[in-house]
């Protein structure tokens, strides 16, 4: 298994990348002073508030707060994972991604991608030219699909016969080897043959538009009705979603995603203008699926049949969603009339009526509590107590935050108890290092926040000689972050600002660092401001130490060394008071 990507490589990679060029290829930027601007791609706005700094190798939106490095932009804009974004930048820079422990990023999968892309082109061509493709075309027309939609999704046809694709692409041992590794052939009794035969073919594409597998639907009663590619080095059913790439092509800003169960559901909905539907690939929704979905849109709607099996599948999706329900995310459930699927229903009632169903989909909270309430007698004390016991382990899986607090509050209303009796941890849990920003910026501007902001915007301050150090003993929010930031900059004096932010990517402090990095600070005198902020923190530490020693003296005997330290602190305080006293002469 490949090891972790070294931090030093990521730092070096970001120092080579030009974030302005990277973003400008996807979003036209305009020069604005020393920086660049555009309307933010992550929220709707008419006046540009999205700023990109070549000097800082950093982007920030003053409207929605989105910020980050080149890696962060690829993750948010191109829907890449962290590793995928690193690999994309490395490829552009002509570098190979190393792994700690001497491993590499993995085998070279480019031949497999090329083989699968050639197969997709072959199937698309067969739909147009093969003598028996008329059955497939008639089927697609009967389902109401246009040639344009079929082309958008790359729909093709695998003709009857045992070796059509093998003869087209596997004319030599290497070609046959690539087809086998790509999951395009099967073997039985030592005989090799095409996996897909006489089926309508749906290419499965990854976030970059590369063909990674196929789904094939029969045109008769042959079983299985749908056949998927097997797991390969480039195709993992538990991670990929059919139609997500096509959604990105059709919509620049994706506000919600509808998760359905089949290829034809996705394609039929697209035919009716609903271009935000995706499908899992014959598996239940996994945490990897949800992570990819939430990287794309803040709202996810699961669509299932309204029968018992559909509701059971919905409950599994709910269970998988709970640990990922952070603030700003929403999950809802749409249960269709029994016997209907999205394909049949949208053709029957039209786009507006179907989208009304989506708008009215059941929130996760309602589904959870209604499902549990079905199992108890809500008119009795025993039943309500049972509801609390059923709900508590589920709510405990929610991440700390407002949503979890509200879920406990609602449970309290249902069972008639104060929420604090249901959970001792209903207040969010995560201790914030920095206060929530108000309309006028981060308030108040405490010494620790000022010191962090100055370091982020002027990393060279970390190398200032003779900086105060006693403040590091202060017990206060933000001190550990300030120490870590200062030590990181002192150990890596050449680190770029973009690379610096990657050190806090997956930590709760990351978003606050982004806001501080974008603050307006005085253009001059940063050295004096930084030193003064540290001196004020040092004074706070001495006050704290004095109080702690006095409290100890009140409760017990203190040592000789502690008495000497307390006297020293008193003398320093007296000296400072004299210096601050006004001159009355």
By C-alpha distance, which of 432, 429, 377 is closest to 399? 429
337: domain CATH number is 3.40.1360.10
For the sheet with 226-228, list strands across it: 156-158, 199-205, 211-218, 226-228
| Rounded distance between C-alpha atoms, residue 81 and residue 71, angstroms | 9
390 and 337 housed in the same domain: no
204: domain CATH number is 3.90.980.10
Specify the pLDDT at position 337. Answer: 93
Are 403 and 325 in contact by the 8 Å Cβ rule? The answer is yes
In the DSSP assignment, the letter for residue 230 is P
Specify the pLDDT at position 106. Answer: 54
In the DSSP assignment, the letter for residue 210 is -
257 and 322 housed in the same domain: yes
Residue 332 covered by a domain: yes
Specify the pLDDT at position 567. Answer: 78
43: domain CATH number is 3.90.580.10
Q: What is the residue range of 400's domain?
A: 375-421
- State which residues of the chain have pLDDT below 50: 1, 103-105, 424-443, 577-585
pTM of the full predicted structure? 0.65
Which residue, 342, 368, 394, sits at the end of a domain? 368
Burial class of residue 252 in the structure, from the number of CB atoms within 10 Å of its CB (0-12 exposed, 13-18 middle, 19+ buried): exposed
Task: Tell me the helices (H) and strands (E) count for the chain, helix number first.
Answer: 24, 16
Specify the pLDDT at position 433. Answer: 35
121 and 175 housed in the same domain: yes
466: domain CATH number is 1.10.860.10
Residue 460 covered by a domain: yes
CA end-to-end distance (rounded Å), the chain: 77
78 and 197 housed in the same domain: no
Residue appearing with tokens 């003779």? 466
Integer angstrom CA distances of residue 53 from 46, 510, 514, 575: 21, 18, 13, 45
Residue 469 covered by a domain: yes
By C-alpha distance, which of 82, 98, 119, 81 is closest to 206? 81
Specify the pLDDT at position 421. Answer: 63
Specify the pLDDT at position 333. Answer: 97
544 and 502 housed in the same domain: yes
The phi-psi region of residue 98 (left if phi > 0; otherwise alpha if psi is between -120 and 50; otherwise beta) is: beta
380 and 358 housed in the same domain: no
Query: Among the residues of 416-472, which ranges form H helices?
Result: 447-457
209 and 281 housed in the same domain: no
Specify the pLDDT at position 435. Answer: 35
Those residues with Cβ within 8 angstroms of residue 437's Cβ, 6 or more apart along the chain or in another chain: 65, 443, 515
Residue 148 covered by a domain: no
536 and 415 housed in the same domain: no
414: domain CATH number is 1.20.50.20
Which residue, 228, 260, 285, sits at the end of a domain? 228
Q: How many domains does the chain have?
A: 5
Specify the pLDDT at position 553. Answer: 76
Structure tokens at 331: 């999950």
Which residue, 164, 198, 228, sits at the end of a domain? 228
Residue 426 covered by a domain: no
- What would the DSSP string read from start to end of 382-408? HHHHHHHHHHHHHHTTSPSSHHHHHHH
In the DSSP assignment, the letter for residue 231 is P
H or E stretch at 57: none
| Rounded distance between C-alpha atoms, residue 261 and residue 448, angstroms | 51
Residue 440 covered by a domain: no
| Rounded distance between C-alpha atoms, residue 167 and residue 178, angstroms | 13
292 and 387 housed in the same domain: no
Specify the pLDDT at position 429. Answer: 38
Query: Which residue(s) pair with 216 in the sheet?
Result: 201, 227
Specify the pLDDT at position 437. Answer: 38
360 and 382 housed in the same domain: no
211 and 264 housed in the same domain: no
Integer angstrom CA distances of residue 491 from 348, 450, 494: 65, 21, 9
- What would the DSSP string read from start to end of 277-338? EEE-SSS---HHHHHHHHHH-SEEEEEEESSHHHHHHHHHHHHHHGGG--TT-EEEEEEEPT
Residue 144 covered by a domain: no
| Rounded distance between C-alpha atoms, residue 422 and residue 402, angstroms | 16
294 and 329 housed in the same domain: yes
Residue 236 covered by a domain: no
């Amino acid at each position: 298994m490949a090891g972790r990507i070294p931090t030093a490589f990521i730092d070096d990679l970001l120092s080579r990348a030009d974030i302005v060029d990277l973003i400008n290829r996807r979003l036209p930027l305009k020069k604005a002073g020393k920086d660049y601007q555009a309307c933010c791609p992550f929220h709707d706005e008419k006046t540009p508030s999205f700023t990109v700094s070549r000097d800082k190798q950093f982007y920030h939106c003053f409207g929605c707060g989105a910020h980050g490095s080149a890696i962060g932009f690829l993750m948010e804009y191109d829907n890449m994972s962290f590793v995928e974004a690193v690999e994309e930048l490395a490829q552009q820079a002509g570098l190979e991604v190393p792994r700690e422990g001497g491993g590499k990023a993995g085998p070279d999968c480019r031949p497999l991608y090329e083989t699968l892309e050639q197969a997709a082109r072959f199937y698309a061509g067969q739909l147009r030219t093969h003598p028996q493709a008329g059955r497939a075309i008639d089927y697609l027309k009967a389902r109401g699909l246009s040639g344009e939609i079929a082309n958008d999704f790359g729909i093709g046809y695998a003709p009857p016969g045992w070796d059509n694709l093998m003869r087209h692409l596997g004319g030599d041992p290497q070609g046959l080897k690539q087809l086998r590794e790509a999951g395009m052939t099967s073997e039985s009794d030592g005989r090799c043959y095409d996996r897909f035969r006489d089926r309508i073919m749906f290419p499965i594409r990854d976030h970059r538009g590369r063909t990674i597998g196929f789904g094939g639907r029969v045109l008769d009663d042959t079983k299985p009705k749908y056949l998927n590619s097997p797991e390969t080095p480039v195709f993992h059913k538990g991670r990929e979603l059919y139609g997500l790439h096509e959604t990105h092509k059709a919509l620049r800003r994706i506000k919600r995603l509808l998760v359905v169960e089949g290829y034809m559901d996705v394609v039929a909905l697209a035919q009716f203008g609903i271009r935000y539907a995706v499908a899992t690939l014959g598996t239940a929704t996994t945490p990897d699926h949800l992570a990819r979905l939430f990287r794309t849109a803040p709202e996810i709607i699961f669509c299932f049949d309204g029968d018992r099996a559909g509701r059971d599948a919905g409950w599994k999706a709910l269970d998988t969603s709970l640990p990922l329900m952070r603030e700003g995310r929403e999950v809802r459930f749409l249960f269709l009339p029994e016997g209907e699927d999205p394909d049949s229903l949208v053709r029957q009632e039209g786009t507006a009526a179907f989208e009304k169903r989506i708008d009215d989909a059941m929130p996760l909270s309602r589904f959870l509590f209604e499902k549990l309430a079905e199992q108890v007698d809500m008119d009795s004390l025993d039943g309500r107590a049972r509801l609390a016991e059923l709900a508590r382990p589920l709510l405990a899986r929610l991440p700390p935050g407002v949503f979890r607090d509200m879920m406990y509050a609602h449970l309290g209303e249902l069972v008639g108890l104060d929420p604090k009796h249901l959970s001792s941890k209903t207040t969010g849990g995560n201790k914030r290092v920095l206060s929530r920003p108000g309309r006028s910026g981060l308030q108040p501007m405490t010494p620790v926040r000022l010191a962090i902001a100055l370091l982020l915007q002027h990393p060279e301050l970390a190398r200032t000689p003779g900086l105060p150090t006693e403040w590091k003993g202060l017990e206060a929010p933000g001190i550990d972050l300030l120490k870590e930031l200062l030590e990181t900059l002192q150990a890596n004096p050449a680190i770029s600002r973009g690379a610096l932010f990657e050190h806090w990517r997956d930590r709760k402090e990351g978003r606050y660092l982004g806001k501080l990095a974008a603050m307006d600070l005085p253009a001059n005198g940063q050295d004096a401001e930084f030193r003064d902020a540290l001196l004020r923190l040092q004074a706070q530490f001495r006050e704290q130490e004095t109080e702690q020693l006095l409290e100890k003296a009140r409760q017990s005997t203190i040592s000789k060394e502690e008495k000497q330290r307390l006297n020293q602190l008193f003398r320093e305080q007296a000296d400072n008071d004299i210096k601050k006293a006004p001159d009355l002469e």
